[in-house]
Amino acid sequence: MTRNFPGRVDVAIVGSGPCGAAYARVLSERRPDLTIATFEVGPLLAEPPGVHVKNIADPAERARAQRRSEGPASAPAPAGAGEAAPRLARAGTFLLPDGYRQPGEDGLPNVAMSSNVGGMGAHWTAACPRPGGSERIPFLPGLDDLLAEAERLLGVSAHAFDDAPFAAEVRKRLSAAFDTGRTGDRQVQPMPLAVHRHEDGRVTWSGADVVFGDVTRANPRYTLFPEALVTRVRVADGRVRGLLVRDQRDGTEHEVRAERVVVAADALRTPQLLWASGVRPPALGRYLNDQSQVIFAVRLRDVEAAAGIAADPDGGPEIVRHSGVSWVPFTDEEPFHGQVMQLDASPVPLPGADRPAPGSIVGLGWFCAKDLRASDRVAFDDRERDGYGMPAMRIHYRLTERDHATLAAARAAIRRAADALGEPLDPEPITLALGASLHYQGTVRMGTSDDGTSVCDPTGQVWGVQGLYVAGNGVIPTSTACNPTLTSVALAVAGARHIGHTLAPRQG
Ligand code: FAD
C-alpha cells in the first residue's frame, strides 16, 4: 500500500542522524505550532527511532541492525586490490564503492556512510570533546552556549566511568607525558561521552533517540518517514519551496511543499543533494577534510598493583568500566587529539588468542587536523549514478607536506603516550587508510560572507536560497582534530533557533 506523505509541512528535515534530530528537538521544544517531517533514506532499526545499536541487547538483532544500515544492496563490495592498507568498513557503515581516489592523488579509500534511522549516530563511539584553540569557529557568537546545549541534547557526561579502577592511573601516566605547558582545559582528562550510566550500573549509548527526546516523540505535529529518499530540493526565485521524495518501499515519488528545508544528510550526501537540486555555490563539496588517524594498542604496565585491585577475569560486557576513556586534547602546537580507551570500545584489533586481564589493554587513537584546501573536494558526476540513483561521488583528496608533518608528529605523540602507559603490542603505530576517521567536514562550510569560500551563513542558511539550511559535520569551517559531532549538533541548534525565531506562525 502506498504510504501517505504530507503535501505540505512547515519544516522538512532530510536525514535523521544527530544533527537532523537536533533540528526536530529544538523546534519541537520552541515551536510546537509547526508541522515538521523528517525524511530518512535508511530503515528504522529498532524502537525508539535512532537508538544506538549497542543498546540492542540481543547480539543477533544487533548484527542485523548493523547490516541493515549498510546501504543499497546494489553497491558492489569493495575490492581493495592494490591498496596499501585494507579498505575496511566499520560495522553499520558502507564504503563508497568507487570514485574514492583520482589518479595520482591520495584519495579517501576508507570513506564511509551509514543509511538508517539515526545515521552514524546509531553506531558511533559517542566521544564528545569540545573544540579548542584554532578548532573553534571564531566568528560564531555564543559558541560555548551552543556547545552546552548540544551536550544537553546528546546527554554528554565526563563522569560515566568515574569509578573505572584503572582510569586514574591511565590519566596520571598520560598527564606526566603531555600536560606540561598546557592550559587547564587542554590537559589530559576524562573524555566527555554521550552515554548514560543508569542506577543499576548499566550503560546506554546516546543515539539520535536521545537527541529527539520525549518532546519530539510526543509532538503530534512531528512525523518521521524511514525509507524515504529525498532526490531534489525544490527552489524557485531564491527561495526554498519543498522537496521531492522517493518512497524506497514502492518507488513512488511525492512532492512535499515546505517553508523551510534542512539538509542534514552527512558531509557527502548533503552537497550531493544540493548538487542534484541545481544549488551549486562555488564552495559546494570543497574544503573536504578527514582526520588522518593513527592507532596503537598497549598493555598497561603494573596496572592492577597501581590501582590497588585484582582484575576480574570474567569482566564480560561490563569490561569498559575498568579503564574508562581518556582524552589528550588538541592544541595549536600539537594539532592532533588523542583518545585512549579500553579495547572493547576501540577500533584496534586484538592479536590472536590473547586474553588480557579486563581493562589492561587500551587502544590509542590519534586524529590529525588537516591543512584545508579548496581543491580537496567531493565532486559529482551528472552522468554516473550511485546505488540510490543520485549523482555519483568523485573524491579529490591530497595530503600536503604540512599534513605529512602533522602525521609524523602524531605518530611520535602516540608513541610517547604508549611508552608512558606500558608495552605496545605492535612494534610501530598503525596509520589507517585515509577516510577511516569517519569525521568528514567542510563540504558545506559556514562563513561570514558569500565570497565563494563558504556555502552557508552562521545560521546554516545556504547563501542565496532563503529557507534552505544545511547541517552536519560538513558545516564546520575550521580544521579540527577532535570528534566533530558535538560541534555540528551545536551548529544545528543555532540553525534550529534561527528557524524558530524567523518562521512566522502559519495563517489559517
Ligand atoms: P549522519 O549521522 O551520518 O546521518 C545522516 C543521515 O542522512 C543518514 O541516516 C542518511 O541515511 C541520511 N540521508 C543521506 N542522504 C539522504 C537523502 N538524500 N534522503 C534522505 N536521507 C538521507 N563522532 C564523534 O563525534 N565522536 C565519536 O566518538 C564518533 N565515533 C564514531 C564511530 C563510528 C563507528 C562511526 C560510524 C561514526 C563515529 N562518529 C563519531 C561520527 C558520528 O557518528 C557523526 O559525526 C554523526 O553521526 C553525524 O551526524 P549527522 O546527523 O550529521 O549525520
Q: What would the pLDDT profile of 66-94 be if each residue is shown by its tens digit?
A: 999 999 864 555 555 567 667 889 999 99
Q: What is the mean pLDDT of residues 446-473?
A: 98
Ligand 1 centroid from CA 400, angstroms = 27
The answer to whether the CB of 54 is under 6 A from ligand 1 is no
Q: What is the DSSP string of 380-419?
A: EEEEEE-TTSSEEEEEE----HHHHHHHHHHHHHHHHHHH
**Which amino acid residue places its CA nearest to atom 9 of ligand 1?**
119
The answer to whether the CB of 123 is under 6 A from ligand 1 is yes
Ligand 1 centroid from CA 339, angstroms = 20
The answer to whether the CB of 20 is under 6 A from ligand 1 is yes
pLDDT (0 to 100) of residue 346: 43
Res 297 pLDDT > 50: yes
pLDDT (0 to 100) of residue 357: 64
Q: Are 299 and 343 in contact (CB under 8 A)?
A: no
| Sign of the torsion formed by the C-alpha atoms of 439, 445, 447 and 453 | positive
**Ligand 1, pocket-test mutation among 16, 247, 266, most atoms within 8 A of CB:** 266
pLDDT grade, residue 46 (50/70/90)? very high
337 flagged as catalytic = no
**Rounded Cα–Cα distance for residues 503 and 497 (Å):** 10
pLDDT grade, residue 308 (50/70/90)? low
Which ligand 1 atom is at minimum distance from the Cα of 117?
Answer: 9
Ligand 1 centroid from CA 112, angstroms = 10
Q: What is the mean pLDDT of residues 234-259?
A: 98
Among 52, 322, 439, 501, the active-site one is: 439
Number of neighbours of residue 405 by Cβ within 10 angstroms: 14
Ligand 1 centroid from CA 119, angstroms = 4
pLDDT (0 to 100) of residue 44: 98
Of the candidates 216, 231, 241, the one whose C-alpha atom is nearest the C-alpha of residue 37 is 216
* Residue 360 grid cell: 589492561
**Rounded Cα–Cα distance for residues 266 and 122 (Å):** 14
Res 247 pLDDT > 50: yes
Q: What is the mean pLDDT of residues 409-438?
A: 96
The answer to whether the CB of 210 is under 6 A from ligand 1 is no
Domains, in order of start, for the chain: 1-69+118-157+207-288+438-508 (3.50.50.60), 158-191+292-368+398-433 (no CATH)
pLDDT (0 to 100) of residue 314: 46
The answer to whether the CB of 365 is under 6 A from ligand 1 is no
pLDDT (0 to 100) of residue 313: 46
The answer to whether the CB of 329 is under 6 A from ligand 1 is no
**Rounded Cα–Cα distance for residues 197 and 190 (Å):** 15
pLDDT tens figures, 182-219: 999 999 999 999 999 998 888 899 999 999 999 999 99
The answer to whether the CB of 16 is under 6 A from ligand 1 is yes
Q: What is the mean pLDDT of residues 370-387?
A: 97
pLDDT (0 to 100) of residue 90: 92
**DSSP three-state, residue 92:** coil
pLDDT (0 to 100) of residue 344: 58
The answer to whether the CB of 207 is under 6 A from ligand 1 is no
Which ligand 1 atom is at minimum distance from the Cα of 228?
Answer: 20
Which ligand 1 atom is at minimum distance from the Cα of 113?
Answer: 3
Res 127 pLDDT > 50: yes
Q: What is the mean pLDDT of residues 132-157?
A: 97
Instruction: Tally the residues of the chain.
Output: 508
- Which residues, 6+ apart, have CB-to-CB distance to 504 below 8 Å? none
- Which residues, 6+ apart, have CB-to-CB distance to 237 below 8 Å? none
Question: Checking DSSP bridges between strand 203-205 and strand 195-197, what pairing results, if any?
Answer: antiparallel
**Ligand 1, pocket-test mutation among 66, 124, 437, most atoms within 8 A of CB:** 124
Average pLDDT, the chain: 92
pLDDT grade, residue 305 (50/70/90)? low
Ligand 1 centroid from CA 82, angstroms = 28
pLDDT (0 to 100) of residue 162: 83
pLDDT grade, residue 324 (50/70/90)? confident
| Sign of the torsion formed by the C-alpha atoms of 59, 64, 69 and 70 | positive
The answer to whether the CB of 121 is under 6 A from ligand 1 is yes
The answer to whether the CB of 112 is under 6 A from ligand 1 is no
Q: What is the mean pLDDT of residues 119-128?
A: 97
pLDDT tens figures, 489-503: 999 999 999 999 999
- Cα–Cα distances (Å) from 476 to 137, 285, 376, 495, in that order, read 8, 12, 15, 13
Ligand 1 centroid from CA 113, angstroms = 7
**Rounded Cα–Cα distance for residues 407 and 334 (Å):** 11
Which ligand 1 atom is at minimum distance from the Cα of 18?
Answer: 51
- Cα–Cα distances (Å) from 422 to 169, 301, 309, in that order, read 11, 4, 18
Ligand 1 centroid from CA 324, angstroms = 24
> Does the ipTM surpass 0.90?
yes
The answer to whether the CB of 120 is under 6 A from ligand 1 is yes
Residue 314 amino acid letter: D
Ligand 1 centroid from CA 381, angstroms = 23
